[in-house]
Structure 1
Amino acid sequence: MAKPGYGKRSAPGQQARTRDDFWLLPTRERYVAGFVDHLPDGAAMSVKQLAKQLPLYGQQAIGTALNALSVAGHLRRVRCSVGAGDETRWVFRTFWSRTAHDNEWWNTYLATENASQTAAPAPDTAPPPWVPDEEPPPPAGPENPPPAEQAPEPTAVPQQRTPPQTPTAEPAPLTRGATPSPAYLALARLGRNDHRLGLSADDCTTLEPLATQWLDRGITLDYLTNALTAGLPAQVDSPVGLIRRRLIDKLPPRLPATESTPADNPIPTRRILVECTDCGRPGQPEALPDGLCRPCHQTHTTAGDTTPDLTQISAVKAHMANLRTLLKPV
């Protein structure tokens, strides 16, 4: 099985499984397709993992078979953006369909899947269904006294002459907000990534406004961290001084907002990108017919021959039509 969020995903609109599935495919592709079709959702679909489970073929043969299955309309590899804000990451999935579909069907389905991913609501924080919302109270009896609201009012206790001891309290929290800002967290993580840049809490609070200026100009946290940690000397005597100087000297310019993308009408973010089954190049579904980019599609179509003979192509098509006629049930 793949990591959570990765692996195989079954596409809708599939016919019931029969013994004649994939019977028009060559032997190798039929062998790989039958194995993939019986894998559960979430199974690993990388060439390396499939080659470990299929002893008859190596990684190169499995990759070629997956390319053929993509052209035949059985699978599409995609990249899905999950999360929001600083937690956004890309996961890699393979949509599989036992029933072959053409490019128009796949483009429509992936567009629908992209729309559902973009408009997905925030994760529900309600407890799982197997956890009851509230444990029912036990029946009242001699062993179980009634609940507090049914118990009589307790009598007032006179004030004790000995003052109560003050419990040992934990140190008072910092005056800063309960949730640190992204700039503060980025500065605090520098010392954990590189011991030469260990900053104290006061240092992070002092440098936080300078780091916030970077983030206000559209700089990501990874870019900020790389700019502060690149090319460090062998020994850093004053980490706070070095970080302050880099935050001031390397402050990126503020880019003006373009007129083509006004703030009130932003371009929607595409959360699903189709990936070339052969080389892994990402793109929109319309730009990758048969799940292959243009160079890989041309290579797969011509099979290394840039000037195919039209006579040979016609002969191959006639031969395939004759085979389909012979395979039809009488």
Structure 2
Amino acid sequence: MAVTQLIDALLPKQRVRRNATHSGVTHVREYQPDRYTIVGNHLAQHRGLSATAIGIAVHILSLPEGARVDIRSLAERFPEGRARIACALRELEARGYVERVRERLPSGQMITRTYAFHAPALTRARREGEPETAAAPATPPMKAAPPPNRAAPDLPASGGLPCDTVPEPLMAPDVVPDTAHVGASATEAENAEPSKPSRDEHHDKAEALLAGLRRTDTRLTLSGREVRRLAPLVVAWFENGLGGASVVYALTEDLPLHVRHPAGFLRNRLLDLLPPALPSPPGAGEGGPFPSRPLPPPPAMVTCEGGCDRGFRAPFQGAWCRDCRAARPGEAPVAPVDVPALV
């Protein structure tokens, strides 16, 4: 009688992971204590973005603050060419994951600042869903510079964005919701807000400058109420002869790593670093900053005696024009002693 033997290949082996999924992907997850990036499924599984756009978006989200993410730098990092990378960035701009803004530094140099949104839908809902505090006084709406961004166009739910289409980036609200609080140690001049503030050119310019600080550094994001309370302090800088570039440089130079209360931090800088007003020059009268001096009368019109009969202004009669003096040097009459010679 034959002995039945079991085949080792049919026996279940130890340490073999059983999975109820018959096909598809199986995740092998490990705990990562550091060097990882949180990416939402709204980006990783986006139906309207190409694989290149999703990959570049994940790479941008994993980079530290201040890293270069321009087309040239990304083309040096990835094997894709500049055309595909530019197309992918336009896709991300249309979906709100990337925003590129042209800004002018205090030195006058123009740069392109890139903002990467980890969850653009949540950011947009937070900014649009949080109204201004009801305790704020009734003041006219802030008149700020128009934002460089506009609403994103409606795109199909599936399929990538054509590369020959240049989409428009998402709109950023004029005023970010109030995320900081100023302590009770503010001065009376700051807390006292008039019911009907004067809307002059300096005031509107100061509010626009304060509202735009978040474009230079997101740590200086202010609410609408804080912008209105700090605007008189910026107006004092303008009245002392400082320009907008000088004010921005003073507020954004050598920022600390963490700014817990942007409004209080900016208020202290505006009060402590305010330069004195320039003294009036000696002899300044009520008519203007400089004394008025009568201008000498212009020379009379004469006719050139060199032969061309050209009319020109000269301090004495019988003078030659410039062309005649250049054609026959040494023959032109000399100006009288009490009259300056022609140039």
Q: Tell whether the structures are fold-level matches, with TM greater than 0.5.
A: no
Q: Greater share of helix residues, 1 or 2?
A: 1
Between Structure 1 and Structure 2, whose CA radius of gyration is higher?
Answer: 2
TM-score (norm 1): 0.27
TM-score (norm 2): 0.26
